[in-house]
Structure 1
């Protein structure tokens, strides 16, 4: 970069990009040169004179030789949309922060997808994945898929619905979102579409969490997510849950997505298949956040689908979910522009890591307050339900003898005493409200309770 500053020179009239490129020979591609110049302008090491095709560049007086500042200038307070980024991320941000007319229009590049090979060319380095695994580990790691997400569902519904909608420009506050989700109370003065967006998120999150078998990286699951998230929000109702059949544009970007429906459907299948082959949950989540918005398979709501789809591997592996709390909208948009226009993921990776770290901080107190699951009870939960239901429905007293007479063959001899104590312990806390867990209807429980009330 120092050499590039020297090449630009300090001529008062500056040099155009064509002259700079000629002087450098084959050292940089034109796109790389544009990015480097934009970064140097952002760093105030060179200055740009004029606009559009007449733009010229010249070195600032203090930038001669190696870039040094004798006395640090007062630094402005960090902007609300600032997050720490890598050097490559800063370069991408500098490029996409240029006016649109200075950025080269581009279309969908199939090579960007073709260059990715699941489990062999990861976007997230191994050391970073290890760090994310350490952050995201939950107390429910050894339990069935979806257990941790269910444990924190109420909190997740509010956080993810609000934060994901906020990234789309929704003006609901977090408190407004909480009132809407928990009490069905729409905020005053808000557009009905904003309310619908929040409620759509709630329904889509419940779809993934309450039925973990549905939380899989498959085409039907992602299409279902789109149907739930876009319900009532599409200009064409037939476009809900359907691969798009018309061309779309992306506001503020020079990227033009693919327009052919048959090719879109084919590539959507390929993207989902590749994602399903990725074994690491963090790599899988990030891949979906990169390639679903890049492909733009739906007429709208693509980013929302990608954010919820990114949570599928976290739900399945009982990892801390990605709620997108405190992710600045501009940082997220700039990161996606880097994917759209440059096919570079470094800035989005910076945002992803920052977002996941913040999500884990949000849920650490929740994790600490969760009771570790009783693995013995978890292992024998089906046998437990069968024995309790049989005793109640037969109207028998809850005694050790009644339990032992119905001892399931799946319980080893060495564990039968523990199992008997477990069943009797469940009976001591059984009531009409929780008996449904064992397939016992309220009337059945009431009849049993009336017969054995004095024995409890």
Structure 2
């Protein structure tokens, strides 16, 4: 730690970046390998930035470290503790964004909406989420071996009861809602509002429920189009806006964002134009995670609605995941201070790294929540369900008549009842049931233990 501090101090004192050789000249007693290891640790911590490769590599103090050096130590610790209140790991770039948005608003540069931010994004060429990161998210979000072939929304419908509670509660919590998860469950499942809670909080939860049901219930027809987005906002905004005419309608007036120096567009025609461009871009993105994160970035940045833009973006970000039968992004345990700072980084810097850090952490957390569900939840085999009576009677007939040739008995039963297209599959299901037959499932087939024993003895090799 002493040497790390010395290296950092040397970089802070330098007017330009330094190479490893220059740093070793300033610290002649420090072994080269130790210096390399300590510099790597400083880079990983976001305190130092490294540019170049091999011998051309140079080091300089990051924006975050410069900010920390000018801030009382207790204040820096408090800021980082807020943001990391849930083990959110930050990239060096995320640390830099954090350092900037943590300054007082008077120290930050006022900015307006930058049209180039959206225009610069080229669907399927620009990647806010690098390919390796997308592969990681796909591995985490996989819900079943055949999820890609299953109809869109299969998984979200299967977990809908749990999804309504988790996503409604967590998204509302990010808006300051004080309902607990248990309160939310009671409200959603039984219609019982929590005692002592403001009516606005109850309405917010119920609106989330309606909005999620709108997406999942219409999964084949909804998409990144005006109809979906406006009606999604309308569901979330019902009975919550000062002017009910603003529900589901593109913003007609200027808005201010509290504690921010960002000023969104104020001309309705410009807002409408940018919204159409945003939706056009979103529809073209092939990867569901990239599409999801794109909406998390650009919808709040545009502020197309009078209010409730971030809530709309959080649910819109789930739409590609619902369609691809991926695990949802519920935002459970996301620290509100972290989320607020990450969105500020987009507003005021048009930088996405801090929000990306939080998005990845939040998705990892969501998949942990749903891991047990994925393990327990298995869609019933439709053919096994459709032919369950035939399967059971055929298994019983085979066991009760050990003198007969089992394959012949199975083929005869299947050919008599099952359409030719499904015969091979149903025959395989019956053979599978016979193969795993044991004393604990005999009642399922109407078999007695003595019949099972006799069948096993008849099958045993002499």
Alignment TM-score > 0.5, same fold: yes
- Between the two proteins, the alignment pairs up a number of residues equal to 354
Moved over 6 A (4+): 75-78, 403-409, 416-421
Give the one of 31, 56, 65 matched to 1:40.
65
Distance of 1:301 and 1:324 partners within structure 2:
16
Cα distance, 1:76–1:98 mapped onto 2, change above 3 Å: closer
Cα distance, 1:362–1:238 mapped onto 2, change above 3 Å: same
Give the one of 163, 168, 188 matched to 1:161.
168
> How far did 1:349 drift?
0.1
The CA deviation string for residues 189-232 of structure 1, in whole angstroms up to 9 with x for no partner, is 11101100000000111111123114422221111100100000
> Quick check: 1:207–1:214 contact (8 Å CA) kept in 2?
no
Distance of 1:346 and 1:78 partners within structure 2:
16
Distance of 1:104 and 1:339 partners within structure 2:
14
Q: Is 1:245 equivalent to 2:247 in the alignment?
A: no
**SS of structure 2 residue aligned to 1:213:** coil
> Quick check: 1:137–1:319 contact (8 Å CA) kept in 2?
yes
Give the one of 121, 125, 143 matched to 1:120.
125
Aligned twin of 1:369: 376
Aligned twin of 1:12: none
Distance of 2:211 and 2:140 partners within structure 1:
25
Aligned twin of 1:338: 345
The CA deviation string for residues 36-61 of structure 1, in whole angstroms up to 9 with x for no partner, is 886235433x459xxxxxxxxxxx9x
The CA deviation string for residues 57-94 of structure 1, in whole angstroms up to 9 with x for no partner, is xxx9xxxxxxxxxxxxxx88973541210000000001
Greater shift after overlay, 369-378 or 258-267? Answer: 369-378
> Quick check: 2:12–2:66 contact (8 Å CA) kept in 1?
no
State how 1:197-276 maps to structure 2 within 5 Å.
197-276=204-283
Aligned twin of 1:6: 14
Aligned twin of 2:95: 90
State how 1:365-404 maps to structure 2 within 5 Å.
365-374=372-381, 376=383
State how 1:21-36 maps to structure 2 within 5 Å.
none
Distance of 2:138 and 2:62 partners within structure 1:
37
The CA deviation string for residues 291-335 of structure 1, in whole angstroms up to 9 with x for no partner, is 000000000010001000000011000000000001000100100
Cα distance, 1:419–1:218 mapped onto 2, change above 3 Å: farther
> How far did 1:376 drift?
4.2
Give me the TM-score of the superposition, normalised by structure 1.
0.71
Q: Is 1:136 equivalent to 2:141 in the alignment?
A: yes
Distance of 1:420 and 1:234 partners within structure 2:
59
Structure 1: any 5+ residue segments left out of the alignment? 9-35, 49-59, 61-74, 385-400, 422-428, 430-456
Q: Is 1:79 equivalent to 2:102 in the alignment?
A: no
> How far did 1:375 drift?
5.9
Higher helix proportion, which one?
2
**SS of structure 2 residue aligned to 1:212:** coil
Taking only aligned residues, the RMSD between alpha carbons, in angstroms, comes to 3.3
Give the one of 185, 190, 194 matched to 1:183.
190
Give the one of 351, 362, 379 matched to 1:355.
362
Give me the TM-score of the superposition, normalised by structure 2.
0.70
